[in-house]
Amino acid sequence: MNFGVPKEIPPFKETEEYRVGLTPQGAQELVLCGAKVFVESKAGEGAGFLDADYEKAGATVVFSKEEAYRRADVVLKVRKPQQDEYSMIREGQTIMGFIHLVTVRKEFLNLIADKKMTLIGYEIMQDIDGRLPIVVPFSEMAGRLAVQIAGRLLESPNGGRGILLSGVPGIPPAEVVILGGGTLGCNAAKTFAGVGANVYVLDVERDKLENLACQAVNLKITTMFATRYNIEKLVQFADVVIGAVLVRGKRAPVLVTQEMVKTMHKGSVIIDFSIDQGGCFETSKVSPSGKFIYTVDDVIHFCMPNATTLVARTASHALTSSIFPYLKMMTESGFEFTLRENHVVASGVYAENGEIKKEFLP
């Protein structure tokens, strides 16, 4: 089995992508299993991995993106291929990465059919019990990262309200509202509460709210059902609102309208981690210029589709650790066998030999 690891191309002009589809440690383990790994030169540089690290691991460093594609049976990406990569994809090739098919352009859908590609999306790979094993560590990271992002955006020089998340004796802490009580929402809630903020978590599922309440007995976290009434009421006094809504393979539902955004304090902050799947705020957008921090109705928005690239080394290690068991099985038992016998890998198939599964079409 030959794996290709191209250097990621930033999705937009003003954004960067520092993550890499496979770390040197992952490459070494695959080589020990009998695979060949072809890594584009400087593919891991943004995450702190040098070409020499890959060579020491037994991988072959190639000096063009095209070669990383051409020599691979399976291409290991972080994000879906960008337009400049389309011509490099071989007919019948397999691409693995965070694809988010629901938000792709028609041009890419046509490419899948024309190239007879097999496309495996990390974001829809699912255990029998419904857990998303690749998404979970990224949701954990994003949830914990939210505190860093919100703290900086609330600072006065950035146009924020000038509020300290924790407050100080005699001065109340920030009010933080989190939409979604899944992995990302839980991690965000515990991290915000850990620094002293007042936290409210809303979800439509009672089990998620109960689970969070049990985990956070000694923290200032209030759980509520995600009704329109509750959302309208809470965003009016929130200093930070986090979008942490995920519907597997589907567009995120819009929970906060522009009219609700208009009721928020000047300089308050929205962080929409659902932006990869369309966003859960009506005012969320992905700008073609790549400007992912912008202001609407005096409210600061953070809508970065690849937010964990801010902690690229951690993210790359987490990705490799999560996908390695499946890559190992492909190497030792063959791709077709893995696709047929491994439920998690099979559940991640957006398209097989160019045939797109209809339930994931935008």
CA distance 20 to 79: 9
- Going through 154-312 in order, the beta strands assigned E by DSSP cover 175-179, 198-203, 221-225, 240-243, 269-272, 293-296, 299-302
CA distance 27 to 205: 40
Those residues with Cβ within 8 angstroms of residue 85's Cβ, 6 or more apart along the chain or in another chain? 6, 9, 65, 69
CA distance 270 to 272: 6
Look at the alpha carbons of 60, 63, 64, 70 in this order and tell me if their dihedral is positive or negative.
negative
100 is annotated as an active-site residue: yes
Residue 260: its H or E element: helix 258-262
CA distance 155 to 112: 45
Could you say which of 100, 203, 272, 301 is catalytic?
100
Structure tokens of 216?
Answer: 């956070």
Could you say which of 51, 53, 239, 276 is catalytic?
276
Look at the alpha carbons of 21, 23, 24, 28 in this order and tell me if their dihedral is positive or negative.
negative
Catalytic residues: 100, 276
